[in-house]
């Protein structure tokens, strides 16, 4: 079991390194333009990525030519952007440098890794027995929960027993990483 957990940790780190590299390249090309995204817009971006994965899983073909894996990668990166926006707020302008954005990216990617390690220990590698389509459905469920939380907060109501938006972002990141790993295996 310890070898399985060590393998998962290494695979998770490899996927995050790949996502980080893509994020850094896009940051070079576009800057931190995502800083203007309000929470609801970011939720909608996550939604369209997850819905596309589900559509591709059901239809078994892509007319655009891009497959499921790049969408899981996008969910990971947008999930990390979501955490950055959640804790730093959105901006009307690009207000951070690429270097500052990468420091934030690394902080939240590390937090996602640490959460995955704790949960994977407790769940005993259960994710390996799941189907990729289940990760997609769980991600869509998390997005629906985020939408509900956003609506409740917009109405000024108090949340009683729900996890916060940050917990849902973390779960989206982790399920998407598992999806990338499973698609590779």
Q: Which one is predicted more confidently, 128 or 80? A: 80
Model pLDDT, residue 162? 66
Rounded Cα–Cα distance for residues 135 and 139 (Å) = 6
Q: 103: which residues sit within 8 A by CB, 6+ positions away? A: none
**pLDDT (tens digit, 9 = 90+) per residue, 131-155?**
999 999 999 999 999 999 998 877 7
pLDDT per residue as tens digits for the range 32-65: 999 999 989 999 999 999 999 999 999 987 667 7
């Amino acid at each position: 079991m310890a070898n399985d957990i060590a393998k998962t940790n290494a695979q998770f780190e490899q996927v995050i390194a790949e996502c980080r590299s893509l994020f850094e390249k896009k940051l070079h090309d576009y800057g931190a333009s995502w800083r203007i995204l309000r929470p609801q817009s970011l939720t909608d971006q996550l939604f369209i990525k997850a819905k596309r994965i589900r559509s591709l899983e059901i239809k078994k073909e892509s007319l655009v030519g891009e497959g499921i894996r790049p969408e899981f990668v996008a969910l990971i990166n947008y999930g990390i952007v979501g955490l950055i926006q959640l804790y730093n707020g959105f901006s009307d302008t690009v207000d951070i440098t690429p270097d500052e954005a990468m420091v934030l990216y690394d902080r939240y990617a590390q937090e996602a890794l640490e959460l995955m390690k704790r949960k994977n220990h407790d769940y005993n590698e259960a994710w390996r027995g799941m189907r990729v389509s289940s990760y997609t459905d769980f991600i869509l469920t998390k997005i629906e929960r985020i939408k509900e939380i956003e609506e409740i907060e917009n109405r000024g109501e108090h949340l009683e027993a729900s996890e916060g938006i940050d917990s849902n972002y973390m779960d989206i990141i982790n399920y998407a990483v598992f999806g990338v790993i499973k698609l590779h295996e």
